[in-house]
Amino acid sequence: MQKSDILFQKLGIGFHNLGTGIKIFGIDIAFYGMVIALGMVLGVLLAQWQAKRTGQNPETYLDFALYAIIISVIGARLYYVIFSWSDYKDNLLSVFDIRSGGLAIYGGVIAGALTGIIYCKAKKIHFGLLADTSIFGLLIGQIIGRWGNFFNREAFGMYYDGLLSMQINLKHVGGDYTRSLQSLTTQYAGKPEALKRILEIRDNTKWIGGTEYISVHPTFLYESVWNLCLLIFLIFYSKHKKFDGELVTIYLLGYGLGRFWIEGLRTDQLFLWGSPLAVSQLLSGALVVIAGLFLLIKRVRLKKS
């Protein structure tokens, strides 16, 4: 696996000779997969901790996780593939290769929610309670999982040279940006904003120590920190929640707000077929409106009762 530097030059931080994985007994193991797996394990443990904290049986959440994790990974991959079909249609086997990235969190959340609904009906558990508890595990998984994008040099933002700018070796950039260098006009036809961002990055590379770097927004870091703040808030607020389902609704509102902003910075957006509309940004906006209205209506009703 190739190694290169990732720098946060203006913060004086550098990760040198950083690879995308390790080799064990001749088998390449990607950091991306290791990070995702760590996030899943810690997610289950945190959900169990919250269950115990609220007087529930922690084993319920280990049992649920065995189904939800597998189905959520499938859902995350399907969501990504569906909205990036042009990248997979000529090589269908590549659909099953997730070691290099290509998981969309919204697909995982949707699949996980559907699994939860079915699980709750089978076990006769209130879905709102299960969702409120599981959301802690989902958030820690998102916080840690985003660092898989860091190791893959992908899911970054547009050109940026400010305090938090991240410099990545141009030769080792991953994701859609590398592919777009090979075929800019065809890949981004009909998506002028995305093309403009890619070209701006390409035209503003910088040389550091004889190596050419792109300088971009570290959107993986923004989302990880945003989710950490959301998790801390929910942990402290959970003792004061007014109804089952409130915590997951606050999550949808808070995550939607952050993701709407962060998605607007990214260069690798998934678009609705044949349109310049970013799928995740549209979904984030819808979540904010729906979750906000639901919380407002629920609070008004509780006040009246």
Residues comprising the binding site? Answer: 146
Helix axes 58-82, 127-145, angle to 10 degrees: 60
In contact, 68 and 116? CB cutoff 8 Å: yes
- 186's CB contacts (< 8 A; 6+ apart) are none
Q: Helix, strand, coil: what percent of the chain each, to 5? A: 65, 10, 25
Instruction: Please tell me the total number of residues recorded for the chain in this structure.
Output: 305
Of 78, 61, 57, 71, nearest in space to 115 by CA: 71
Nearest to 116 by CA among 134, 137, 98, 90: 134
Inter-residue contact 156 to 168 (CB < 8 Å): yes
232 alpha-carbon distance from chain centroid: 18
Report how far residue 224's alpha carbon sits from residue 141's, in angstroms, rounded to the nearest whole number: 10
Backbone angles phi, psi at 124, to 5 degrees: 55, 50
